[in-house]
A and B are shown apart, each in its own frame.
Chain A
Amino acid sequence: MNPEAIASAPADHSISTAQSNAFLKKLAWFFSFENRYLAPMLITTILLIGQLTYGFLESWWRTFLAIGVAILVELVLGRLITGQWPHLASAYISGISVGILVRSPEFWPFALCSAISITSKYVIRWRGRHLWNPSNFAICVMLLLVPEYVSTLSVQWGNTVWPMLVVWALGSAIVYRLRRFHITATYVVSFIALALLRSAITGHAFLAEVAPITGPMYQLFIFFMITDPKTTVSRKWAQCLVVFLVAAMEMVLRLSENIHAPYYALTIVGPLALATEIWWTSRKK
């Protein structure tokens, strides 16, 4: 999915200076990496755990193709449109997200999805900001236009809870470090509460309603896509409200049996919220 957000978050070097112990200093140095590298590292870790342990990719080559196309398009468009060579962390995350999330026996959807993802950042802009999370937008386009060739990641973390717990812990630590844990936490709490409500409405088991969030697709969604700083609103309370609305829209879509509800919910709510904020801010100015 789309961790582009975290990759482009501002650097944070606020490690405590009180640590005198050498080990702790080393640890502090480790965690003082530029934030923009944390997300690529996390998503690469998820990919490696998932693939080496369970073989959850469609194939290595399809994922490499998605990453390669994303980076290539970013380089070309960045240079042509802005006149500068862009930083590639965001494109890498977009590519790897497409490589993990898109499922297709064909090769071309991976290339096309990556290309749409990156290009959308440069084309669909309003007042200097792109409105859609790039890979979320591109995946929705693919699902709408070529559903016969494309689906999305639906596998589990094998048969044990350990890989899932490791990713939850690692992902939580990183989004906490990036000061966006409140977004993730709000979404998770909202999803579970709304699952309870859906269960009451549909009469289906609560565990059936909550089941999707236990899968790797949702971990990518909640740690990367909904926390994207480029496409989320700026105030903390507003971020929590928007992500609750994403979960609420997802519930509406789920009640109408939409299989790709989280992708479409973010695609609908995210840009509306951002556009509203941009409009409101400019009006005040």
Chain B
Amino acid sequence: MQSRIPRIALIIFFIGLLAFPLIYKRLAARNTAAETASANLSTALARYGFSLTESSKAAGIEFKHSAPTLDAKLSHIMEQVASMGAAVSVVDFDRDGWQDIYVTNSGEGSKNALYKNLGNGSFKDIAAEFGVDGLNSRENGVSMGAVWGDYDNDGYEDLFLYKWGRPELFHNDGGKRFTRVSEQAGLPRWVNANTAVWFDYDRDGKLDLFLGGYYSETIDLWNLKDTKMMPESFEYASNGGRKYLFHNLGGGKFEEVSEKLGLKSNRWALAAVAADLRGTGYPDLFIANDYAVSELFFNDGGKKFREVGGATGVGYAPKSGMTAAVGDVLNRGQFGIYVTNISEEGVLVQGNNLWMPKAGTSGDGIKYENLANAMGVELGGWSFGAQFGDLNNDGFLDIYVTNGNVSLDRGKSYWYDYSKVAGGNKAIISDATNWPPLNGRSLSGYQKKRVWINDGAGSFKEVAQLIGVTDVNDGRSVAMADFGNRGVLDVIVANQKGPLLLYKNTVAPENKWIAFDLEGTASNRGAIGAQVRLFWNGGQQVQEVSGGSGFCAQNQRRLHFGLGKTAAIERVEIRWPSGKMQTVRAPELNQIHKLKEPA
């Protein structure tokens, strides 16, 4: 009898081990089910402080993205290869105080759209009359995304369009029309790019431009010499496109200086974001790469870029980076970096990364640790675009993630064949001929989106289905802006082969907010790179004006801060790109403040 006791205990222990994951899942599912059952938009407003309502049609937006048809040698995997190009960027192109929307299309002969915000809740597509619509063709490539920046400091933001093809720069002529100036600017003939960022890396007051290649620039995807154009590895590929850094010489001319400044990489870049991560005053550059580790380039005084991904911890484990966004997640005055990756149940659980500065590290010695798991923002499906923004104005930055790769037959998955080749040797994976045909199967399709709200205490809660984000399109690009000048951030989402969605935000009125429109004088006029540090309730939050973030996206340049139920702000410190400091004491709440860089 005595000898049986350990044996019985052992069996109970074993059953307990097997039961643990089932109990864990059941408890998690019960909590979610209870909340879902009681969910409607009014309870969402009461419970989470906001709700989102898809309002594109009501706003006059009826845009549907189309994908290109590349070389016939890729026909067996066409939907997988031609799976990007739906992109959205926000701009007030005519300086009327209302945020407008530029959205890209990618089918040959398809049209991009420039939705002018009419200020009454509706938009009108004026791309054709402004000459920025018909930019997609087999000969010159198709659009992948756009970023806006006032490169000549005339007060009007200019349009840079990157493609799998010929990149284009359009000068904004006083908000009345656009003039194509690509040749004068000295842009290359062909780049297969999926990311670009405007930033003033040398702080000379003129915006420079980073452009990141995905496929090698030697490849014309419509006229392939051979099929050895796929990544040479699923996690260590370095046969992608080169990187470009265009230094703004003034007079509408740019000089390509990437090699001279040490910005060299042939990884498959999908996203980039520039921000001053170390407090040097110079913007550093973070690149999220597909099929590889992320890269972080420290900017040494505008004279050299130094790759420190490994040293800082962000370039350690290779994943499938698809977005890069920065945000002061914990209101500590420091930026975290959010990178999206792939998670597919039972197949590939990479998890998204939230790179947070390690306590006690800063400046050149800054180290990052991935707290996505600890903070609950890790599993987002096949995640593409993501942005930070205080969606409920509670004073803490939330995260919106869109996802879904290829949605075809709901009942059939390509994952088995995909994983078969993805794990193969370089000689196998890099040749598209070896990739099994897609045959109408889905690859992480029809996925539920993620909206994570920040509790301010180090954890996030996923509420997408509860607050009204219920679409299952193949989401690509996300941007946030206050389209109604109401003091709330709305969300615009571009979907691959799907509609452009406008999620209008309704926020509980008791939460306060403040916003800043900045205009540089010594600095670049759009104030890209300016940091605003807000001090209230004994805490602080820093935001930076960005020339592009997320996946193929750009938020409004206006900086929006939610404040919670606070009664007052102590002060606002603005560090302009030129280095000038400005302090505004006790600014009025619930207002958009227009600030000009002091002389």
Residues of chain B with a CB closer than 8 A to A210's CB = 428
- Bound-complex Cα distance A115 to B433 (A): 43
CB-contact partner of A211 in B21, B343, B345, B421, under 8 A: B421
Q: Evaluate contact between B349 and A77: CB separation under 8 angstroms.
A: no
Q: Quick check: is A10 within 8 A (CB to CB) of the other chain?
A: no
Q: Quick check: is A265 within 8 A (CB to CB) of the other chain?
A: no
- Bound-complex Cα distance A81 to B237 (A): 49
Residues of A183-221 contacting chain B, CB below 8 A: 202, 204-205, 207-212, 214-215, 217
B69 → A minimal CB distance (Å): 23
A60 → B minimal CB distance (Å): 10
* Proximity string of chain B (316-352) to chain A, C-beta cutoff 8 Å, 1 when within and 0 when not: 1110000000000000000000000001111111110
CB-contact partner of B428 in A57, A119, A211, under 8 A: A211
B450 → A minimal CB distance (Å): 14
Residues of A53-72 contacting chain B, CB below 8 A: 54-59
Q: Evaluate contact between B434 and A208: CB separation under 8 angstroms.
A: yes
Residues of chain B with a CB closer than 8 A to A141's CB = 18
Q: Evaluate contact between B232 and A159: CB separation under 8 angstroms.
A: yes
Q: Evaluate contact between A151 and B436: CB separation under 8 angstroms.
A: no
- The segment from B3-11, B117-125, B196-204, B241-249 found at the interface with A is B3-11
- Bound-complex Cα distance A231 to B144 (A): 54
B556 → A minimal CB distance (Å): 32
Residue of A nearest to B427 (CB): A207
A96 → B minimal CB distance (Å): 18
Q: Evaluate contact between A116 and B346: CB separation under 8 angstroms.
A: no
CB-contact partner of A59 in B22, B317, B378, under 8 A: B317
- Bound-complex Cα distance A213 to B481 (A): 49
B227 → A minimal CB distance (Å): 11
Residues of chain B with a CB closer than 8 A to A116's CB = 14, 17-18
Q: Evaluate contact between A155 and B349: CB separation under 8 angstroms.
A: no
Q: Evaluate contact between B293 and A55: CB separation under 8 angstroms.
A: yes
Residues of chain A with a CB closer than 8 A to B427's CB = 207
- Bound-complex Cα distance A205 to B428 (A): 10
Q: Evaluate contact between B349 and A103: CB separation under 8 angstroms.
A: yes
CB-contact partner of A119 in B10, B235, B317, B349, under 8 A: B10
Residues of chain B with a CB closer than 8 A to A22's CB = none
* Proximity string of chain B (280-312) to chain A, C-beta cutoff 8 Å, 1 when within and 0 when not: 000000000000010000000000000000000
Residues of chain A with a CB closer than 8 A to B351's CB = 105
CB-contact partner of B436 in A54, A77, A158, A202, under 8 A: A202
Q: Quick check: is A145 within 8 A (CB to CB) of the other chain?
A: yes
Given contacts A150-B349, A156-B234, contact A123 B25 (CB under 8 A): no
Residue of A nearest to B373 (CB): A105
Residues of chain B with a CB closer than 8 A to A282's CB = none
- Bound-complex Cα distance A160 to B425 (A): 8
CB-contact partner of B17 in A59, A115, A214, under 8 A: A115
Q: Quick check: is A32 within 8 A (CB to CB) of the other chain?
A: no
Q: Evaluate contact between B420 and A156: CB separation under 8 angstroms.
A: no
- Bound-complex Cα distance A120 to B10 (A): 10
CB-contact partner of A154 in B21, B317, B343, B422, under 8 A: B422
Q: Evaluate contact between B413 and A257: CB separation under 8 angstroms.
A: yes
Residues of A142-186 contacting chain B, CB below 8 A: 142-143, 145-151, 154-161, 164
Q: Evaluate contact between A112 and B233: CB separation under 8 angstroms.
A: no
A216 → B minimal CB distance (Å): 9
Residues of chain B with a CB closer than 8 A to A107's CB = 373
CB-contact partner of B434 in A58, A145, A157, A205, under 8 A: A205
CB-contact partner of B423 in A106, A147, A159, A217, under 8 A: A217
Residues of chain B with a CB closer than 8 A to A202's CB = 436
Interface residues on A, range: 35 or more
Q: Quick check: is A80 within 8 A (CB to CB) of the other chain?
A: yes
Q: Evaluate contact between A259 and B347: CB separation under 8 angstroms.
A: yes
A94 → B minimal CB distance (Å): 14
**A-B contact number at CB 8 A:** 158
Q: Quick check: is B569 within 8 A (CB to CB) of the other chain?
A: no
Q: Quick check: is A104 within 8 A (CB to CB) of the other chain?
A: yes
Q: Quick check: is B424 within 8 A (CB to CB) of the other chain?
A: yes
Q: Evaluate contact between A211 and B425: CB separation under 8 angstroms.
A: yes
Residues of chain A with a CB closer than 8 A to B343's CB = 105
Q: Evaluate contact between B348 and A156: CB separation under 8 angstroms.
A: no
CB-contact partner of B14 in A119, A142, A155, under 8 A: A119
Residues of chain A with a CB closer than 8 A to B350's CB = 103, 105
Q: Quick check: is B238 within 8 A (CB to CB) of the other chain?
A: yes
Q: Quick check: is A258 within 8 A (CB to CB) of the other chain?
A: yes
Residue of B nearest to A161 (CB): B425
A124 → B minimal CB distance (Å): 8
- Bound-complex Cα distance A150 to B425 (A): 24
Given contacts A159-B233, A211-B428, contact A257 B416 (CB under 8 A): yes
Q: Evaluate contact between A158 and B416: CB separation under 8 angstroms.
A: no
- Bound-complex Cα distance A158 to B291 (A): 11
Interface residues on B, range: 35 or more
Residues of B359-380 contacting chain A, CB below 8 A: 372-373, 378-379
- Bound-complex Cα distance A104 to B424 (A): 21
- Bound-complex Cα distance A214 to B421 (A): 10
A84 → B minimal CB distance (Å): 13
B2 → A minimal CB distance (Å): 12
Residues of chain B with a CB closer than 8 A to A120's CB = 14
Residue of B nearest to A148 (CB): B345
Q: Quick check: is A122 within 8 A (CB to CB) of the other chain?
A: yes
Given contacts A105-B372, A148-B346, contact A122 B10 (CB under 8 A): yes
Q: Evaluate contact between A159 and B234: CB separation under 8 angstroms.
A: no
Residue of B nearest to A82 (CB): B6
Q: Quick check: is B417 within 8 A (CB to CB) of the other chain?
A: yes
CB-contact partner of B10 in A77, A105, A149, A205, under 8 A: A77
* Proximity string of chain A (216-247) to chain B, C-beta cutoff 8 Å, 1 when within and 0 when not: 01000000000000000000000000000000
Given contacts A81-B7, A155-B318, A159-B426, contact A54 B416 (CB under 8 A): no
- Bound-complex Cα distance A160 to B343 (A): 26
Q: Evaluate contact between A119 and B17: CB separation under 8 angstroms.
A: yes
- Bound-complex Cα distance A147 to B351 (A): 13
Q: Evaluate contact between B378 and A105: CB separation under 8 angstroms.
A: yes
Q: Evaluate contact between A123 and B14: CB separation under 8 angstroms.
A: yes
Residues of chain A with a CB closer than 8 A to B130's CB = none
Q: Evaluate contact between A208 and B424: CB separation under 8 angstroms.
A: yes
B379 → A minimal CB distance (Å): 7
- Bound-complex Cα distance A46 to B431 (A): 28
Residues of B227-264 contacting chain A, CB below 8 A: 232-238
Residue of A nearest to B20 (CB): A112
Residues of chain B with a CB closer than 8 A to A104's CB = 349
CB-contact partner of A81 in B6, B316, B433, under 8 A: B6
Q: Quick check: is B36 within 8 A (CB to CB) of the other chain?
A: no
Residue from B6, B344, B423 with most neighbouring chain A CB atoms (10 Å): B423
Q: Evaluate contact between B435 and A208: CB separation under 8 angstroms.
A: yes
Q: Evaluate contact between A207 and B434: CB separation under 8 angstroms.
A: yes
- Bound-complex Cα distance A149 to B20 (A): 13
B57 → A minimal CB distance (Å): 35
Q: Evaluate contact between B423 and A158: CB separation under 8 angstroms.
A: no
- Bound-complex Cα distance A202 to B436 (A): 9
Residue of B nearest to A54 (CB): B236
Q: Evaluate contact between A159 and B347: CB separation under 8 angstroms.
A: no
Residues of chain B with a CB closer than 8 A to A54's CB = 235-236, 318
B15 → A minimal CB distance (Å): 9
CB-defined A-B contacts under 8 Å, sample of 16? A105-B350, A116-B14, A119-B13, A123-B11, A143-B346, A147-B346, A157-B425, A204-B437, A205-B433, A207-B424, A207-B427, A207-B428, A209-B420, A211-B434, A215-B423, A259-B346
| 10 further contact pairs, Cβ within 8 A, besides A105-B351, A156-B234, A215-B425 | A115-B17, A119-B14, A119-B17, A141-B18, A148-B379, A154-B423, A208-B434, A208-B435, A210-B428, A214-B423
The 5 closest A-B pairs by CB, nearest first: A211-B424, A147-B346, A105-B351, A257-B416, A214-B425
User: CB within 8 Å of B: which residues of A?
Assistant: 54-59, 77, 80-81, 103-107, 112, 115-116, 119-120, 122-123, 141-143, 145-151, 154-161, 164, 202, 204-205, 207-212, 214-215, 217, 254, 257-260
